Amino acid sequence: METTVAVVAEHRLGLVNPVTYEAIACALEILRIRPSRLVTITIGEDSEEAGRQIAAKTGSQVLALKVPGLEEFNGDAYRTILAGLLAELEPAWVCIPGTSQGLDFSPGLAVRLGQCCISNVERVVERDGEPAFARSLFNGKIVAELSSLIAKTLLMVQPGAFSAVFTGSHSPGVVETRTIEWKSTHIRSLGFRIAQSADSALAEASVIVSAGRGVGSKENLDLVRRVASLFSKSTIAGSRPLCDLGWLPYQLQVGQTGATVTPDLYLACGISGAQQHLAGMGGSKFIVAVNTDPNAAIFNVADVGVVDDLEGFLSDLLEESNACSHK
């Protein structure tokens, strides 16, 4: 029997979250090692609309599970519906975007199906002719490779880790629709509110000076602000811990659960380079990183790496620029 690789799409009100295409890119990497049938699953009232977009863009076959009344994501619904469907399809691998939505239902689904669940998958590698999965640990300093001992595995695909570029000409995939009745017994969705969006300064800035935990104190952010003000069209930003500490507003957080930015220059100050941060700034045109740790993972993506104490480095930069402006 032909092996199947399934992808669970993420979509809302007919709009497909781009992380879905990253999960499909991960599935295609598996297919490269183990040729298989690819099926993408969409679930909810809007499953057909989302499914049509996915089939057109990727050529993937889509199974659209139309669930009357299921307008919003509900983890209870996903667990129950997918448990039935995956038992029928028997995919060897299921790629699920590792977002808060994926985190909600995947581990419980794996337990229900008695399957393995590998989280934070960043790369597919070939080991003994079979796909294995790489994820980083310790903020990108160590790469772990994992393979499943169970025949069926759920993979939570790390957002930002796979490049979802679908350019080749292909005919659209077939969308098969099934209608499923479902009634919530455990969780009732009370709806969604639009959160304050990312600071528009982040989207418009050509230069972003971004602070991480290495900045040490809220007071030192002043140094970061002064360096940002050296450039026109610039702003400061930060990693998630700084926002969690309340040193910066969440609108200035860059990363998987913050903003995605693509400035001409991204100056990362005291940021370790965890995959969740890289997911938001990896597309920057030029990256300069300042870090005291020469083995920090941020240096893997930096165009210029400065191994130095950021306070000293930023102070020297300000002094140098001051001297230049007086020449």
Q: Which residue positions form the known binding site for FAD?
A: 213, 239-240, 253-257, 270-277, 291
Q: Shortest approach of ligand FAD to residue 274 CB, angstroms? A: 4
Q: Shortest approach of ligand FAD to residue 97 CB, angstroms? A: 12
Identify the DSSP state of 164: -
Q: Which stretch binds ligand FAD (CB under 6 A): 62-70, 81-89, 198-206, 248-256?
A: 248-256
Residue where the block lists tokens 């393995």: 116
Q: Shortest approach of ligand FAD to residue 127 CB, angstroms? A: 26
What DSSP line would sit under 77-129, residue for residue? HHHHHHHHHHHHH--SEEEEE-SHHHHHHHHHHHHHHT-EEEEEE-EEEEETT
In sequence order, what are the residues at sequence separation of 6 or more whose Cβ sits closer than 8 angstroms to the Cβ of residue 326? Answer: none
The Cα 24–Cα 164 span in angstroms is 8
| Total residues belonging to the chain | 327
Of the candidates 95, 290, 301, 317, which one interacts with ligand FAD according to CB under 6 A? 290
Q: Is 277 in the site for ligand FAD (CB under 6 A)?
A: yes
User: Considering beta carbons, is residue 97 or 173 the nearer one to ligand FAD?
Assistant: 97
Nearest to 310 by CA among 326, 324, 298: 298
The Cα 22–Cα 154 span in angstroms is 15
Q: Which of residues 255-274 bind ligand FAD (CB under 6 A)?
A: 255-258, 270-272, 274
Residues making up the binding site: 213, 239-240, 253-257, 270-277, 291
The Cα 257–Cα 181 span in angstroms is 32
User: Considering beta carbons, is residue 112 or 213 the nearer one to ligand FAD?
Assistant: 213
Q: Shortest approach of ligand FAD to residue 256 CB, angstroms? A: 4
Q: Which stretch binds ligand FAD (CB under 6 A): 17-25, 107-115, 170-178, 251-259?
A: 251-259
Kindly state the number of chain residues that form the binding site for ligand FAD, as judged by CB under 6 A: 29
Of the candidates 3, 17, 189, 292, which one interacts with ligand FAD according to CB under 6 A? 292
Q: Is 293 in the site for ligand FAD (CB under 6 A)?
A: yes
Query: For 20-59, what is the HEC assignment?
Result: HHHHHHHHHHHHHHCCCEEEEEEECCCHHHHHHHHHHHHC
Helices 75-89 and 100-113 cross at an angle (nearest 10°) of: 50
Q: Which of residues 113-152 bind ligand FAD (CB under 6 A)?
A: 139
Q: By rule CB under 6 A, what string of x and - marks binding of each residue 298-317 to ligand FAD? A: -----------xxx------
- H-state helical runs in 282-309: none
The Cα 209–Cα 228 span in angstroms is 6
User: Considering beta carbons, is residue 79 or 277 the nearer one to ligand FAD?
Assistant: 277
Bridge partner list, 17: none
74 touches 56 (CB < 8 A): no
Q: Shortest approach of ligand FAD to residue 224 CB, angstroms? A: 12
Closest CB to ligand FAD: residue number: 255
The Cα 284–Cα 261 span in angstroms is 7
The Cα 251–Cα 237 span in angstroms is 9
Q: Which of residues 188-247 bind ligand FAD (CB under 6 A)?
A: 212-214, 216, 239-241
Residues forming the site for ligand FAD (CB under 6 A): 139, 212-214, 216, 239-241, 253-258, 270-272, 274, 276-277, 280, 290-293, 296, 309-311
